[in-house]
Amino acid sequence: MPKGEVESPDAAYVRLVRAYWLHGSEAALIEASDLGKKLVHDGLPPEDIGEFQQQALLALGQDVPAAPLAVVAAQLTPPLLEVLIAYGLAFREQIEQRYRHEIEQRLEQNHKMEALGTLAAGIAHDFNTILGVILGYAEMTLDLAPDGTPARRNLQHILTATLRARDLVARILAFGRRSETQQVPVRIGAALQEALTMLGATLPPSVKLLTEVAQPEPTVLVDPGELQQLIIDLTINAVDAMNGHGVITFRVDTVTLALEQLSELPPGDYARLRIQDTGCGIPRSVIDRVFEPFFTTKDVGRGSGLGLAVAYGIVQRMNGLIRVQSELGQGAEFEIFCPRCPDQ
């Protein structure tokens, strides 16, 4: 090998096999085993390491046609098998640890969301009672205030703020709701079009909406009002992420999930809704927290941090899964999987 040239692992393995067989060098056999272990440590797939042995035997057969390759292979196989078994055990342990970690994270997230939902619902109920009193007295006093007076304008501002607070309480209650909903078969494409029609008049003209609905259109078991709320919340979130300028693409189709594809869901047929925006994206440092209630990256006064938490709760009640993929500056995509109803 020319001076200064780096020997490739497969060439090194061939050289060591030749040295072992032609010169009886036990040191070469040990070095070959050490090379295999180093390749495992570097992350080389085991099938590639096994390929080195085959290349070495073929090269030796060309150089020494009289060499009994079966004997050579028998002597070289034990150290190679030792390497591959160690690799397999380490890989299995790594997969088991990763799976346990994912399950623990999912359970921790579910417990946290349930606790927060219970707390939020309790506070919201009490707060709703107080708001009812404020709203009632403000309306009665407004009837007594003359038109055009500062007092009437102030009361109107109080009413507006109280109604906004009531809407916020309704969202908190929706997140913390534990009662059974009225679930019926609903076509996702039809619900999507209806929700976007309602939103159309309120969205900035600089926001473009695109829809792609696969046929036959999938049906899911859901409360129709909750499905529309889910779509509206995710759409408003996308509009905010784009600062009112960009494209939101809605895609509806059907996927069949195998056991190994999504550990959070059993295998089967699922309706999939994807909502993709061209916004600013979500930083990696906070992407795991976006579904937490009251967590928001928006400026003060621009959001309550409940939209995605409510969406998360709705998908949970549909026995589905919601996840997000995003890169800073590349927008975000929310992907929702829900069990598909048999065709009606």
Concatenated DSSP letters of 207-260: EEEEEEE-SSPPEEEE-HHHHHHHHHHHHHHHHHHTTT-EEEEEEEEEEEE-TT
Structure tokens at 273: 């809704």
CA distance 338 to 344: 17
pLDDT at 210: 94
Which of the residues in the chain have pLDDT under 70? 1-6, 10, 21, 29, 36-37, 40-41, 43-47, 49-50, 52-53, 56-57, 60-61, 64-92, 94-95, 99, 106-107, 109-125, 167-181, 259-260, 293-306, 343-344
**φ, ψ dihedrals at 254, nearest 5°:** -120, 135
184-339 maps to which CATH number? Answer: 3.30.565.10
pLDDT at 240: 87
Q: Please report which residue ranges of the chain form alpha helices under DSSP H.
A: 9-23, 26-41, 46-63, 69-144, 150-176, 188-200, 224-241, 307-317
CA distance 238 to 233: 9
Domain-wise residue ranges, the chain: 9-93, 106-176, 184-339
Q: Do residues 309 and 293 touch, judged by C-beta distance below 8 A?
A: yes
Q: Please report which residue ranges of 145-223 form alpha helices under DSSP H.
A: 150-176, 188-200
Largest CA distance in the chain: 114
Cis peptide leading into 216, omega within 30 of 0? yes
pLDDT at 332: 93
pLDDT tens digit string along 129-165?
A: 788 888 888 888 888 888 888 888 888 888 887 877 7
CA distance 105 to 56: 46
Q: Is 3 exposed, middle or buried (0-12, 13-18, 19+ CB in 10 A)?
A: exposed
pTM of the entire predicted model? 0.53
Q: Do residues 291 and 302 touch, judged by C-beta distance below 8 A?
A: no
pLDDT at 336: 95
Using the structure block, give the residue that is written with the tokens 């040295």: 19
